[in-house]
Structure 1
Amino acid sequence: MKLKNKKWSLDKFMQIREEVLKQWDTGAEVDLEDAIEYHKSLPEQKDMSKKLIEAKEEKITLTQPRAGVALIDEHVELLKFLKEEGQADLLPTTIDSYTRQNKYQEAEEGIKQSKTEERSMLNGFPAVNHGIKGCRKVIESLDAPVQVRHGTPDARLLAEITLAGGFTSYEGGGISYNIPYAKDVSIEKTIYDWQYVDRLIGYYEEKGISINREPFGPLTGTLVPPSISHSVAIIEGLLAAEQGVKNITLGYGQCGNLTQDVAAIQTLEELAEEYLSEYDDIVLTTVFHQWMGGFPQDESQAFGVISWGGATAALAQATKVIVKTPHEALGVPTKEANAQGLKTTKQVVNMLKDQHFMPNGVLEKEKEMIKKETKEILNRVFELGKGDLAKGTVRAFEAGVLDIPFAPSKYNAGNLLPARDNNGAVRYLNHGNLPFSEEVINFNKEKLEERGKDEERDPSFQMVIDDIYAIGKGMLVGKPRT
């Protein structure tokens, strides 16, 4: 394995592909030419790329849930319910945990147990085991684009089968589906494996089939500063573009402060357009993830969090919003609760679709600092790679120049400590080895000192703990109880 950020030759791709398709029996079903013809036969309303382009042009925010169960018919029933009752614009297929870990035999046992128990014994849809025929049954039963959502460090076989099965959008990346999800998988290996996925999608593109690619924006989901998630999203977008991907959706997870979140979505798109400008014909869209941290157990309070996420997505003019449910604190939601979260979000989005968050001095300052922080990180990544982004990314994680808070990976430095300022925006309490200028360091320090002064305590790790649990307790900023 020799990692570099260069488009794979078709010979190299096809050589590695022979081994990938042998990982499970259903790999033998994949025929790329048949897959291309199948995609050409799909109606436009099932094409994720086209749907996102239309939404961007019309400046509307589409809604999409998370959902997946073990058996094909039950999965179709669930997604139909979310489309019809929940009014979802776009549909997901969330993949089960065994498949995410490439444990296909265990997934097969889960399918058998689900049939015996007459309920899903897996926490998602085992697409590899169901194979192309099963995936196509899902696609043909639904009247909306369907995306593969998972969390898989090695997602190569899953990509082969689901794309041949008619899915038109594929989530994840070599950083975003490794560092927040796995402990012992090297960043070098996952970037290499995801180059395969992106080269596969690039192959479809060469044949006239545009598959949407979406790096996973929220990362670990809780208190991730925008400049961290932006850096990862832009890196994964650039790596995908190098392999021939043309339709890219970059994501960001809600932090909770309206000004910072609007600034984040706007700067994500602006920065990505700047960095991706060297590639031709890239179509860029954005996705806003509703709050990914702890939720209130009370359903009424949970609806408040969901509504706030919907309002922020609409005001930021994100192309789509990933919706949470009022059962978020309790475990796997019912289909009814999932539909409730969708309808709540849809109502708010529709009410705000003709309204905009007005530019002001605070917003512009927030955008300025997010851009400055992100560029300082990315510039150092390129320096470490001596111009090669893939190599630079590996070295940046080794040096702590890229660092994701609260991640389990042993390849992540774990030095960052984020905390909220007095207005709830996420700042760096400890920036670790991030290559920040004195201006950036002082800006974050002053913001947290303002909060400390107001709360009559020094900024410390206790603030971090308080902030992690705050929304679940009905607040945004984890202020001490008086």
Structure 2
Amino acid sequence: MSDRPASSFGAFVQAGAARDRLVVQPRMGFSDPATMRAGLAATRGALGRSVGTITVDSHTRVGHLAAAESALRKGIDLNGYPLVSHSAETTTQVLSGIRNEDFPVQVRHGSANPVDIFRALLAVRLEASEGGPVSYCLPYGRTPLSESVRNWGVSCELLAELRDTGLEPHLETFGGCMLGQLCPPSQLVAISVLEALFFVQHGIRSVSVSYAQQTNQEQDREAIAALRRLCGELLPAIDWHVVVYAYMGVYPETRDGAYRILGEAAELAITAGAQRLIVKTAAESQRIPTIDENVRALEHASRTAARVAPPDRDEPADSPTYEEAATLVDAVLNLSPDLGRALLLAFRKGYLDIPYCLHPDNGGRTRSYIAPDGRLHWAETGSLPLPKLSRLRRERRFTSADLLDDLTYIRRKFDGH
């Protein structure tokens, strides 16, 4: 079988969805090419339907290529694969005989300026990546949002050139994972949809929209239903699917707790009609997981998903999450027909505002909290174009101790504290 996939990353996931099979994926990256190849081979051999991941190291993410190259020369391990610093020949050897139409590979990175990363993708004909102009800017540093928007526009157009080679480029928005936690679901849904629309405006025709598991399973199902409905309304002619992330915040420390929350993530993906799941491992709270730990997490998620009945495919109903997300999306789209300009204006006006995010381009006037039932609510909405909160909620005092409790809510719940 050829090493050059005949179909795209998106088509592979959709084929699994057609057979009610959840695609599972690790967040795996190693600087040593032989180890990276072994990780991809182990992922491919895992029980279930999986896709491979090459996660880029932190030096490459922020453009410190000299530091990545120095580490390679000195034999120092990095926390990911330095895609730009390794030659195209080396990466081709990593992929050879492993990647094909039955096992696509996605590059994950975390960069507000992924132009060099995307050029490296083109050199080895890897068609799938992820991120976004907002979600890979605001939480990760102090790069101005205007620069990230410009960089991502160029990067999308670069990746779109792969279509000329017979591959269909695919981008996944990270917008549904903003800061990993404590961002109310309606804003996660809105940013995920808006970043997908940004990708499409810059030439991408196959996208996935993300949502990170939060603190209440019922609210999460509501959110994913809202995400699916908005994509159906706004991306009718585009190949799209939904990807769920296992909880992105402070993770359980015990093995049982880690596996229980991962199992709930797999159940959420199936019952909410998502097609792909990004797993986390039992070692997540202590260190970078090994290949074997990643495989065990993939197989646990696959086994759990296989026991869950898929949902009816009815049109998602109205919900408070849908109404809020639709209001936020409409408000941003009405600012400018250019999605990049609309996103900049939205943050300037406070129509988008991420709780507890310290980036200079974020207004910082919104706050959220976890209710006793685990649902995430707005405590302060700032200038968001949403109905004003009740006086009772506005007068709720929120201390640093409350914030710490909310940040560790999942760890305490799943570790049995």
Do the aligned partners of 1:273 and 1:284 also contact (CA within 8 Å) in 2?
no
Do the aligned partners of 1:214 and 1:248 also contact (CA within 8 Å) in 2?
yes
Distance 1:93 1:172, change over 3 A: same
Partner of 2:368: 418
Do the aligned partners of 1:256 and 1:476 also contact (CA within 8 Å) in 2?
no
Higher-helix-fraction structure? 1
1:124-139 equivalences under 5 Å are: 124-139=80-95
Partner of 2:257: 301
Partner of 2:311: 356
For 1:101, give the aligned amino acid.
Answer: V
For the residue of structure 2 that corresponds to 1:250, the secondary structure is strand
Partner of 1:398: 348
The answer on 1:55 being equivalent to 2:11 is no
For the residue of structure 1 that corresponds to 2:235, the secondary structure is helix
Do the aligned partners of 2:271 and 2:311 also contact (CA within 8 Å) in 1?
yes
For the residue of structure 1 that corresponds to 2:334, the secondary structure is helix
1:323-402 equivalences under 5 Å are: 323-352=279-308, 354-356=309-311, 364=317, 367-385=318-336, 387-402=337-352
Do the aligned partners of 2:367 and 2:381 also contact (CA within 8 Å) in 1?
yes
Unaligned runs of 5+ in 2: none
- Which one is further off, 316-325 or 391-400? 391-400
Q: Deviations over 1:53-98 (max 9, x none)?
A: 2123333321000111111111101221233246561111110000
The answer on 1:71 being equivalent to 2:54 is no
CA distance in 2, matches of 1:291, 1:128: 29
1:220 positional shift: 0.7
Q: Deviations over 1:361-383 (max 9, x none)?
A: xx95xx52112111222222233
Partner of 2:151: 193
Do the aligned partners of 2:357 and 2:364 also contact (CA within 8 Å) in 1?
yes
Q: 1:164 aligns with which of 123, 142, 147?
A: 123
- Which one is further off, 460-469 or 418-427? 460-469
Tell me the TM-score normalized by structure 1: 0.79
1:418 positional shift: 1.5
Do the aligned partners of 1:135 and 1:162 also contact (CA within 8 Å) in 2?
no
For the residue of structure 1 that corresponds to 2:106, the secondary structure is strand
Q: 1:121 aligns with which of 62, 77, 88?
A: 77
The answer on 1:142 being equivalent to 2:95 is no
For the residue of structure 2 that corresponds to 1:417, the secondary structure is strand
For the residue of structure 1 that corresponds to 2:178, the secondary structure is coil
CA distance in 1, matches of 2:381, 2:345: 18
Partner of 1:291: 247
Partner of 1:437: 387
1:403 positional shift: 1.3
Partner of 2:398: 460
Do the aligned partners of 1:181 and 1:408 also contact (CA within 8 Å) in 2?
no
CA distance in 1, matches of 2:357, 2:415: 22
CA distance in 1, matches of 2:332, 2:168: 29
For the residue of structure 1 that corresponds to 2:242, the secondary structure is strand
Partner of 2:4: 42
CA distance in 1, matches of 2:240, 2:298: 24
The answer on 1:314 being equivalent to 2:274 is no
For 1:382, give the aligned amino acid.
Answer: L
CA distance in 2, matches of 1:110, 1:345: 35
Q: Deviations over 1:132-162 (max 9, x none)?
A: 2122222214141110101001001111112
Distance 1:410 1:54, change over 3 A: same
Q: 1:81 aligns with which of 23, 36, 42?
A: 42
For 2:331, give the aligned amino acid.
Answer: R
| Alignment coverage as a number of residue pairs | 411
For the residue of structure 2 that corresponds to 1:434, the secondary structure is coil
1:399 positional shift: 2.1
Partner of 2:411: 472
Distance 1:78 1:88, change over 3 A: farther
1:293 positional shift: 0.7
CA distance in 1, matches of 2:405, 2:313: 31
For the residue of structure 2 that corresponds to 1:213, the secondary structure is strand
Distance 1:371 1:160, change over 3 A: same
CA distance in 2, matches of 1:337, 1:59: 25
CA distance in 2, matches of 1:145, 1:177: 23
After superposition, the CA RMSD in angstroms is 2.6
For the residue of structure 1 that corresponds to 2:354, the secondary structure is coil
CA distance in 1, matches of 2:152, 2:335: 21
Distance 1:276 1:121, change over 3 A: same
